[in-house]
Chains A and B, each alone.
Chain A
Amino acid sequence: MRVPTDTPAILTIENLSLRYGTRPILRGIDLTVDQGEVVVLLGASGSGKTSLLRSINLLTRPQSGRIVIGGEPIFDQSEDGIDRLRLPAKKIEHIRARTGMVFQHFNLFPHMSVLRNVTEAPMIVRGVPRAQAEQEAHDLLRQLGLEAHAEKRPAQLSGGQQQRVAIARALAMKPAILLFDEPTSALDPELVGEVLRAMVALARGGMTMVIVTHELGLVFEIADRVVFLDAGQIVASGTPADILLSPAHPRVAGFVARFHESIDMLKPFLQIA
């Protein structure tokens, strides 16, 4: 497990707030993710973790705050709603292309082959020539154990295979950071493992990742930091052991209590007293 060092921040979020109508979803979030760091967002449903993840690449547009990705500001809006950047759509799309996202329901393009799913965005967004895009796609599919399925349609694959294609599709854009929104929640239990293994391999390879998940095994395995959200605010942040094994905040304790059984089962494997 990596110790955060003074490597440059890939993602900086400052005082981010989001409302749906008058309902506050995120309230003054500050978060920095360093190069190669794996951050897991935890919290009860409705705590704002998915909204925070979707705000990073502006799939959901917050009301105020600041977001910088790889040194480039993508969002900077004052409390009274004044857009200080006024970025053209093209610029936002350009920055977005440097973030990869993996969704709960895979969201593969059903009318395209697996290969096309992976090559489409590099070709039309980054302008990579077809031959090169296909070469890179085949390499990625091989890494993820999917080389036999390149010509199939997504519907012909299992959920676990589809989610691995979705990971390949995101990686094909050579993102600076990967965002995962509950990537295993929609999977049958026996298919979870293959997706988790792919994520562990990515983390070991040094990929910067922000993950919303309830897979505590994965959290202990790859998270450098756990960020716990409650009612749109970060209430605790630290190593998985700090946050989950000796929770200080009552909300975290309440959340962890529901998982206690599984944590107790994990303890022997974690070499923790």
Chain B
Amino acid sequence: MFDSSVITANASLLWQGLLVTLLYTVATIASGLGIGFAVGLAQLSRLLPVRLLGRIYVEFFRNIPLLVILLWSYYALPIFLHVNITKAWAGYLSLSLYIAAFYAEILRGGVEGIDPGQVDAATALGMSAGQRMRRVILPQAIRRMLPPLVGQSIIQMKNTTLLSAITVPDLLYQGSYVSSFTYRPMEVYTAVAAIFLIILVPLTALARRMEGPHARAH
């Protein structure tokens, strides 16, 4: 028997968890975009060492499971550096650095997908490398990048649930806490799943709509 009073009685605990989840989602997407664009541009650099550094960053964070990065930065990194890292910082940094690797790849792919004739035309007109990037390449690349950026950001919101592994009180952590004293995992986890669905289904639909006209235009 589904007892919805378990949810209503503990709504404020779940609400707090949801706020933490949203906060980490927005904050790590914002800083991840900044880092990701820097790394993506590094990957496109004319200088081999810079390109290599960008590549190493991407391969490093793409090929370690996020859960491992989280646990390592919270439990292992402090021992290496002899510093204390709060779980909030460990979670924020791990999620930001992790998603930045994917944003960097989206940027690189978006820029490399631009017709080389565009660069030829801008170059022939006497534009500098910076002007070519800002005026000609990025405005076109960003249009192509928007759907995958939204898609990756949706994955990021789901990935915040891994924060519960280092006891950051996100929505999932709060859910398991409520479940631990109510002994009603069915209601609680169903509610947690429903909250994600309610938030992410419209966003996914939006991302798909953005892909639609774009796909037709090319």
* A residues adjacent to B (C-beta < 8 A): 57, 59, 89-90, 93-94, 96-101, 103, 105, 107-111, 120-121, 124-126, 155, 166, 169-170, 173, 179
Contact = CB atoms under 8 A, between A and B. Distances in A.
A93 B125 CA distance: 8
B126 A105 contact: no
Given A109-B136, A111-B140, A120-B135, A173 B126 contact: yes
Interface residues of B, number: 20
B194 interface: no
A222 B124 CA distance: 24
Interface of B: 115, 117-118, 120-129, 131, 135-136, 139-140, 143, 217
Nearest to B218: A110
Q: Classify the interface of chain A: helix, strand, loop or mixed.
A: mixed
The 5 closest A-B pairs by CB, nearest first: A97-B126, A107-B121, A121-B125, A107-B117, A101-B124
B216 to A, nearest CB: 12
Contacts of B143: 111
30 contacts: A57-B123, A59-B123, A59-B124, A89-B128, A90-B128, A93-B126, A93-B127, A96-B125, A96-B126, A97-B125, A97-B126, A99-B124, A101-B120, A103-B120, A103-B121, A105-B115, A105-B117, A107-B117, A107-B118, A107-B120, A109-B140, A110-B140, A111-B143, A120-B135, A121-B126, A124-B135, A170-B124, A170-B125, A173-B126, A179-B124
A178 B136 CA distance: 22
Which of B121, B131, B136, B139 has the most chain A CB within a 10 Å cutoff? B121
A59 B121 CA distance: 9
A125 B117 contact: no
Nearest to B114: A110
Contacts, number: 66
Contacts of A100: 124
B126 A94 contact: yes
A173 B125 contact: yes
A125 to B, nearest CB: 4
Contact of B121 (A90, A109, A155): A109
Which of A89, A124, A126, A169 has the most chain B CB within a 10 Å cutoff? A124
B120 A59 contact: yes
A26 to B, nearest CB: 18
A108 B121 contact: yes
A120 to B, nearest CB: 7
Contacts of A170: 124-125
A171 to B, nearest CB: 11
Which of B121, B124, B128, B136 has the most chain A CB within a 10 Å cutoff? B124
A103 B119 CA distance: 12
B52 to A, nearest CB: 22
Contacts of B125: 96-97, 120-121, 125, 169-170, 173
Given A107-B115, A107-B117, A109-B136, A93 B124 contact: no
